[in-house]
Amino acid sequence: MSFTKAQSRAITHKDGPMIVLAGPGSGKTTVITERTKYLIQNYGINPMEILVITFTKAAAQEMRQRFLRLMEQEQTQVTFGTFHAIFFGILKHAYHFTGENILREDQKHQYLKDIVGRMNLDIEDEADFIGGIISEISLVKNDQIPLEHYYSTTCSENAFRDIYQKYQQRLERENRLDFDDMLVYTYQLLKERPDILLGWQNRYRYILVDEFQDINKIQYEIVKMLAAPENNIFIVGDDDQSIYRFRGAKPEIMLNFPKEFKDTKTILLDQNFRCTGNIVKAAELVIRHNQMRFQKNMKEVKESGDKIELHTFANQPQECAHIIKKVQEYIKQDYQYSDIAILFRTNTDARLLAEKFMEYNIPFKMRDSMPNIYDHWIAKNVISYIHLALGSRERREFLQVMNRPNRYIGRECVDEAQVSLENLKKYYDDKHWVVERIEQLEYQLNILKRMNPYAAINFIRHGIGYEAYLNEYADFRKIKAEDLYEVLNEMQEGAKDFKTFEAWFAHIEEYTKALNDQAKEQNRVSNAVTFTTLHSSKGLEFANVFIIDINEGIIPHRKAILDADMQEERRMFYVGMTRAKEHLHMYSIRERYGKNLMPSVFLENLKQDVKTAG
């Protein structure tokens, strides 16, 4: 096998720190496996002294398999593993932990559910709330933030600290540790026991780390301790593909690596073997606008290929129709469905397109689960209002909305399976302001039942005052009300085509069934178009890639306010662009949910250089 000069220099490196800047499609896995082989066969390094760290179990398994094929062996004494697997191995030796001591993710969720359930917090979406708490606990542990200095974005500081402390107390009582504790305990152990640290330093004399741009603070501190004093640490990554800051990844660790290790040698793998020349050049035009990065200029190995298609559509339905047409054209050109990917910013952005794919029987699979919007608690509230307007008086439906907005109705007076508004008024006959609100609700339900679905949602939002309730809830949860409005916006968009509630409810039922069927089928279907977020597209490649809705507020996301956020959004877009091997289609829209949209700032740098239509 022949290597470029840069690859050869990296493969044959022996002692001391080295940073390998590996751009997209530049053969980084080859460099890691070939260098491991070179250490053993040419420098006589004992395989037991080599440690290769990856970020995912799948990457570790793939790396190990490629190395075994390269060595023509069935087993190896080289250690391949994730940070968690390696560090748990260290803890097993020190504390005799077993798999029983590890808290599974479902158990963690249940622990926190129990704690939160006893705290009497007013939470609507429990799964979303607990998901936020889990992320924040992880951040506190991985960034080694003192609890008293951490300010929660999910709930009040006091509530978060209470939850955190109760969670940790239960772990300690039951002698368990979660995945983040594996890092914390390893760090503490190696810090406090130099004798144990020395043993592991002698064991792993050569350390190689893949995807180094995704490393967080505590992982880096442990790796530094293990690599000392010889510092035979070989890191491979691309700062331009660092997209996990929300999980604690810090691209600045990679940027500062040469400063921290003064004798670092730097190798740039700047040849892209994956993408056509036009895609490589366009991606470079985008990423060069980031300031905090290693300067590099990726070069294409392939020919220029077709120009990138940049197209602006009036709205999402037009965008969807065009994508379906293009997919059908690719299939006629003998491409497989599996050669095609649709990339988007969040897993809710592709709902309309997924619906259209189901309608046209185009096979697709989701890399990330796409939640059914009609299962969202806000959607359930809206549907309950409509059911009540149509005559339902089920207690379950009424409880959902009776105080949204607040009508001061107590649960204690809603104790029958069927709710009577007349009985409620009698119950509160000494509180005229409550009676007034119940009468107002009756009047509003009477208006609501005469509307079409689109107008009904609008009336619930503004006429009944449901948005005012969402504003209060957003304040309590420390989230933006706009994020909650998105559910209503999307519901309204979906309801536009239906004249009656009956037709809309039938559509919701069909859509839910189709979504469930698709989720069951997707693991069985290999030849299918891939739907994936930009985040989850990392590490993948496809002949033909569509990136949709490249608009301000979508890509980049509206939450990207700080410069660091914008740089991360640009890196994410760059990752998406460089998934395409042959054809790249980048689309924006002019309007969504009745609001005008601007094309993304990321597209402005490209317009002179790529084919523009529309």
What is the reported pLDDT for 26?
A: 92
277 appears as a binding residue in the annotation: no
For strands 591-592 and 595-596, give the pairing: antiparallel
Per-residue pLDDT of 102-122, as tens digits, reads: 999 999 999 999 999 999 887
pTM of the model: 0.88
The position carrying tokens 């990330």 is 368
Q: Is the peptide bond before 229 cis (omega within 30 degrees of 0)?
A: yes
22 appears as a binding residue in the annotation: yes
Could you tell me the CA-to-CA distances from 603 to 222, 310, 550, 606 in Å, in that order? 40, 9, 8, 5
Per-residue pLDDT of 60-77, as tens digits, reads: 999 999 999 999 999 999
User: Are 233 and 227 within 8 A, CB to CB?
Assistant: yes
What is the reported pLDDT for 610?
A: 56
Per-residue pLDDT of 572-602, as tens digits, reads: 999 999 999 999 999 999 999 889 999 999 9
Could you tell me the CA-to-CA distances from 396 to 388, 402, 505 in Å, in that order? 11, 10, 18
530 appears as a binding residue in the annotation: no
Q: Is the pLDDT of residue 612 over 60?
A: no
User: Are 341 and 545 within 8 A, CB to CB?
Assistant: yes
29 appears as a binding residue in the annotation: yes
Domains of the chain: 5-95+183-269 (3.40.50.300), 105-176 (1.10.10), 299-363+525-612 (3.40.50.300), 374-506 (1.10.486.10)
Per-residue pLDDT of 414-439, as tens digits, reads: 888 999 999 999 999 999 999 999 99
Could you tell me the CA-to-CA distances from 490 to 67, 317, 349, 477, 486 in Å, in that order? 48, 13, 10, 22, 6
What is the C-alpha separation between 81 and 64, in angstroms, rounded?
A: 9
Could you tell me the CA-to-CA distances from 84 to 56, 143, 225, 576 in Å, in that order? 9, 16, 16, 28
27 appears as a binding residue in the annotation: yes
The position carrying tokens 């491409």 is 335
What is the C-alpha separation between 456 and 386, in angstroms, rounded?
A: 8
- Which residues does 513 contact at the CB level (< 8 Å), separation at least 6? none
Instruction: Annotate 296-333 with DSSP letters as a single string.
Output: ---EESS---SPPEEEEESSHHHHHHHHHHHHHHHHHT
